[in-house]
Amino acid sequence: MFPELRSLSSLDIPEKVTIIIVTMEALPPFTLIYAPITRTHLRAIAPKHYSLIRHTLTERLSYEPERPTRNRKPLKRPVMFEEAVATWELRFGPDNRFRAFYDVQLAERQVLILAIGVKIGNQLYIGREEVQL
């Protein structure tokens, strides 16, 4: 049909390049569910940090809560708290002093936040009690 095009590679002609864009529907964010005991844990933390804690947990756990990062990692050994078993830890806040322990339920798209603590040196405090993991 077009003899002049037979000698040219279709990739050498910018007009012949086709870009295919595939769009996927965004998944809804995970729902964060706080265990009732976390209210007690928060009482041991200064109230000035509450908005930081709430904002950080929402920001970092609403999407991809099971993707390991430098400050989010799976626990080597799952830890049993009153409500359920935590399989993940999130470090955040000034000097990474705060810790949140959680479990992810992928099918329900829920993150169960089971404990919120403070790390001072090499000691972890959840509520007002020192905890060994």
Q: What is the pTM of this model?
A: 0.80
Alpha helix ranges (H) inside 2-132: 3-6, 38-43, 50-61
Q: What's the domain range around 91? A: 27-131
Q: pLDDT per residue over 37-89, tens digit each?
A: 999 999 999 999 999 999 999 999 999 999 999 999 999 999 998 879 999 99
Inside any domain, residue 20: no
Q: Can you give the CATH number for the domain in which 75 is found?
A: 3.30.2310.20
What DSSP line would sit under 10-39, residue for residue? GGGSGGG--------PPPPPPEEEE-TTHH
More confident residue, 3 or 38: 38
| 23 in Cβ contact with 101 (< 8 Å) | no
Give me the numbers of helices (H) and strands (E) for the chain, helices first please. Answer: 3, 7
Inside any domain, residue 8: no
Counted domains in the chain: 1
